[in-house]
Amino acid sequence: MPQPRKPKVAIQSLTGCAGCQLTVYFIKDILLGLLGQIDLVAASMIKGRNEEGPYDVCFVEGGVVYQEDLDRLKAFREQSEVLVALGTCATHGNVQQIKRFMDDDKVEKAAYGNRLEHLAKGKLKRLPPAPLEAHVKVDYAISGCPPEEAEVVRFIKDLLLGKRPAIFNEPVCEECTLKENRCLLEAGEECLGPLIRGGCGALCPSAGHPCTGCHGPLEDGNFLQGIRLLEENGMDARTIRQRLDKYAGLKFQELEKSLKLKG
């Protein structure tokens, strides 16, 4: 009997640090087992030869910052049955999208200095940094800076089993409670745990460090109450907005009216 065709999987990158792609490769022994079930046809960091689509599943890390990113993203979308945004750059814009809330000239001068004029004459056309969903349809989004290994493994296994992958959508606070961590908010600290999607095992609060929001906002979080808690802990509206803008400013901008944030 002919063997069933293995699904063709690609891991592609746009502008970012490549940390999300490394997370997949660091799965090590588990990855070796998964490689027996899939045909990894594109993964630039570990393969010498990378194939063009079509792909059954294409993981895309990084955000859209240049026209080249956008062109490549559209090609990935056209070539892929399932497109997965991998990491907070891809799902929410991450630190790159902070530029949208600042003066362009100041940002570019600080970043490029004396090279700015030279870059302006180059071929790279800069775009307002944005997550993938601002430009194409995204089938699944796995946030995190970087994503958690366990979540990536569970996602791939669900796809292989023909199940619809379930993305963790509970607050960091739930994982803190399960670990019986001391509540940092109750201690008067600036923790964003109630507003942020977990899946990280409450990594930062477990070490006594407040959650800064790297997994992005919950889909159905009680943002208004969360903001009130932060204000009760002494944070002013401008500081709160800066914290929220750090990883997912565009998403919180959409929620601005309901959050009643100013400044």
Share above pLDDT 90 across residues of the chain, in percent, rounded to a whole number: 45
Confidence of residue 13 (pLDDT cuts 50, 70, 90): very high
CB 135 within 8 A of CB 74: yes
Which two structure tokens, joined as six digits, stand for 196?
A: 């942020």
Domains of the chain: 8-160 (3.40.50.700), 172-259 (no CATH)
Higher pLDDT, 121 or 153: 153
Cα gap 139→129, rounded to integer Å: 20
Reply yes or no on whether the pLDDT at 25 is more than 90.
no
Higher pLDDT, 109 or 184: 184
Cα gap 151→99, rounded to integer Å: 29
Share above pLDDT 70 across residues of the chain, in percent, rounded to a whole number: 92
Cα gap 59→69, rounded to integer Å: 14
Confidence of residue 262 (pLDDT cuts 50, 70, 90): very low
Pairing, β 126-130 against β 64-66? antiparallel
pLDDT at 234: 83
Lowest-confidence segment of 35-49, 116-130, 133-147 by average pLDDT: 116-130
What mean pLDDT is reported for the chain?
A: 87
CB 250 within 8 A of CB 131: yes
pLDDT digits 0-9 by tens, 139-160: 999 999 999 988 988 898 898 8
**66: phi then psi, degrees, rounded to nearest 5:** -125, 160
Cα gap 132→139, rounded to integer Å: 11
pLDDT at 199: 92
Confidence of residue 244 (pLDDT cuts 50, 70, 90): confident
pLDDT digits 0-9 by tens, 158-210: 988 889 998 888 999 999 999 999 999 888 888 999 999 999 999 999 999 99
Lowest-confidence segment of 44-53, 171-180, 181-190, 248-257 by average pLDDT: 248-257
Confidence of residue 260 (pLDDT cuts 50, 70, 90): low
Element (H, E) at 259: helix 256-259
Reply yes or no on whether the pLDDT at 2 is more than 80.
no
Distances from the Cα of 263 to the Cαs of 22, 99, 128, 224, 240, in angstroms? 37, 16, 21, 16, 10
Question: pTM for this structure?
Answer: 0.88
Residues sharing a CB contact under 8 Å with residue 240, sequence separation 6 or more, in sequence order = 227, 230, 231, 261
